[in-house]
Each structure stands twice: as C-alpha cells, then as structure tokens.
C-alpha cells in the first residue's frame, strides 16, 4: 500500500510539472475541436483489442481443456481492473490463479501460460518499436541508445523464449547475483519458464498462432494511438508512430508511477513535441494525447468492474498464499 501511495504521488507530481508548462485553455480547446467520429472510433478500439486478446487466451489453453469466449473476456477485463489497483501487473497473476480455481488448469501451468502471454506482448511491442526506429530518420544520440536497447531487449527475449539452454543459463546466473528477495522470485520464475518451454514448444502450430496473434494485437494498440492523433485533428506519418508510441508505452512500464500515468505523458510530450526538429504535435495536443493514452487502460478497467468480485477471492490468495 505504501509503494502504491508513493507511485500515485510521483504521478501527480509529474503531471503538475507537465501542466504547469501548458496552457490549460489550449488543452481544453484541443478536445473541443477534436473530430467526433475519429474520437469514437479510436476510443472504441478497446473492443476489438479486448476481443482478440480474449481469443488468444482461448488459444493458449491446452487442447484437453475448454475456456468459453465470454469467460476469457471476463478474465481479461477483470485483470485490467486489478492491474490498476495492484502493483507490478499482479492482475495477470491473479488471472492465472483464478483459472486454476475454476479448474481450467493446474496452478503451475496457469502461471506459465500467463508468463508466456505477457512475454509475447512485450516481444511484439519491442518488434514494432524496432521496426519503427529503423525507419525513423530524426535519431539523435539518445535515440540511437534507445534503438540499441530495444534491439537488445528483443534479441534477449527471443533467446529466452527460443532456447531452453540459454534460458537456464540466464536464470542460473541471475539467481547467483540477485538480492535475496528477488532470488526467490527468480527461482519460482525459472520453474514456470521451464514448464512453459515444455508446453509451448511441444506444439509448433499453437506457438505460431499465439505469436502472430500477439503481433496483430500490438499492431491494433499502436493503430489506436495513431487514430487518437487523427481524432485530435493532428497528423504524423503512420510509421513514425511505430517508433514513438512504443517508447512512450515502455516509459509507462517503469515501476515509478501509478499505471504509468506521468512517465507515459512526459514521454509522449518529449517524443512528439519537444525532441523533433519540426514538432509533430503542439504541446497541448501532445498532452491531450497523453490523456487519451491513459484512457486505454481505464476504459477496460471500467468495463471490467462488474467482474471484479469474481476475482477478488483469487487476489486475496495471491497476496496471502
């Protein structure tokens, strides 16, 4: 709870700094002059994104089990709510426990499934980011560092998923040098990772389906952000959005703020308005884009509120095993 309070305080502090430099009337004017149709379409993208993500969850399940499409949607939306209130994306871990409680999977396999799901998400985001950064022309020294970091993260992730021997070597060395608190988590993660390897590499067709679906899901996520730009009556090339919006999303994943609020907004303001020689967006428009990007997390959480009660029992067991 203390860490959550600190993260919320950091988010508020960053937002206060950002909005102290922006004319609030200009920000309100950006929303007042926004394109109604594109705004509805862009915000409505949460629906196909959620549906495709739920379908992917169905495909992740072992062939001798069955998860209804409606149930998969409930799990995805319920996890979205818990991710807003629990630290470190614990909503997805609760989702794994909930699937075990409902008898869909064993406990270790459900955790392995969620780890693979989140790994595919991260690798897909890094893949699109690397693609966009490769095409992005306005790279200064900071962008070259970020390009190398993204490419390195993508290669490391592919090796961890693709090579069991490399993954074992990575975890063994990581456990040796990690602090005691993190060491226990790494030991548990190593067991789940090895089970994940055994499960998913036994069915190459399933592995290909999940991988391609994850790439499509993150294409839809980045498309939604580009549509936000159109809704604000602004413009930037589609491929530029592939470079800049993933960097802002990655900034929001840093464990500093509440649900990425503040760090993501600051990154969007910098990448879209401050860093380019010719800004793609004005500062007020970039700030408005930050608010719309935050809505990408709040809207699924609001839709998932009716399913929260079903998952609270699993959440309590995760926090008090």
Report the pLDDT averaged over residues 156-183. 88
Sign of the CA dihedral with 262 first, then 265, 268, and 271 last: negative
Q: Higher pLDDT residue, 284 or 254?
A: 284
Annotate 148-175 with DSSP letters as a single string.
HHHHHHHHHHHHHHH-HHHHHHHHHHHH
The three-state DSSP-derived secondary structure of 248-276 is HHHHHCCCCCHHHCCHHHHHHHHHHHHCC
Percent of the chain with pLDDT over 70: 90
Q: Is the pLDDT of residue 137 over 60?
A: yes
pLDDT band at 315 (very low <50, low <70, confident <90, very high): low
* pLDDT tens, position by position, 37-96: 999 999 999 999 999 999 999 888 877 777 889 988 988 988 888 877 765 566 777 777
* pLDDT tens, position by position, 196-212: 888 888 888 888 999 99
262 Rama class: left (phi>0) / alpha (psi -120 to 50) / beta: left
* pLDDT tens, position by position, 258-280: 778 889 999 999 999 988 888 99
Structure tokens at 89: 């994306």
H-only helix segments in the chain: 2-20, 24-32, 36-44, 46-60, 69-85, 90-101, 107-135, 141-162, 164-177, 180-200, 204-231, 238-252, 263-269, 283-303, 308-319
Using alpha carbons only, how large is the chain's radius of gyration in Å? Answer: 20
């Amino acid at each position: 709870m203390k860490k959550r309070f600190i993260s919320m305080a950091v988010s508020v502090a960053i937002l206060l700094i950002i909005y102290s430099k922006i004319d609030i009337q200009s920000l309100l004017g950006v929303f007042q002059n926004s394109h109604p149709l594109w705004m509805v379409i862009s915000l409505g993208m949460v629906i196909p994104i959620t549906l495709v993500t739920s379908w992917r969850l169905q495909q992740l399940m072992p062939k001798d089990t069955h998860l209804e499409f409606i149930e998969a949607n409930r799990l995805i939306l319920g996890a979205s709510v818990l991710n807003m209130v629990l630290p470190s994306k614990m909503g997805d871990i609760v989702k794994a426990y909930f699937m075990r409680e409902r008898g869909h999977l064993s406990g270790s396999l459900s955790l392995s499934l969620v780890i693979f799901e989140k790994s595919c998400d991260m690798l897909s985001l890094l893949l699109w980011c690397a693609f966009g950064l490769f095409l992005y022309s306005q790279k200064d020294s900071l962008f070259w560092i970020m390009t190398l970091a993204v490419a390195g993260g993508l290669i490391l992730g592919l090796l961890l998923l693709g090579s069991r021997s490399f993954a074992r070597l990575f975890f063994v060395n990581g456990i040796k040098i990690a602090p005691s608190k993190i060491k226990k988590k790494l030991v548990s993660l190593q067991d789940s990772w090895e089970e994940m390897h055994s499960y998913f590499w036994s069915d190459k067709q399933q592995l290909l389906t999940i991988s391609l679906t994850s790439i499509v899901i993150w294409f839809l996520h980045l498309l939604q952000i580009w549509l936000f730009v159109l809704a604000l009556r602004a413009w930037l090339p589609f491929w530029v959005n592939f470079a800049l919006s993933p960097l802002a999303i990655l900034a929001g994943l840093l464990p500093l703020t509440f649900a990425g609020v503040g760090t993501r907004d600051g990154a969007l303001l910098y990448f879209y308005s401050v860093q380019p020689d010719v800004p793609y967006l004005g500062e007020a428009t970039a700030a408005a884009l930050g608010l719309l990007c935050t809505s990408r997390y709040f809207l699924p959480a609001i839709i998932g509120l009716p399913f929260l009660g079903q998952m609270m029992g699993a959440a309590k067991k995760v926090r008090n095993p």
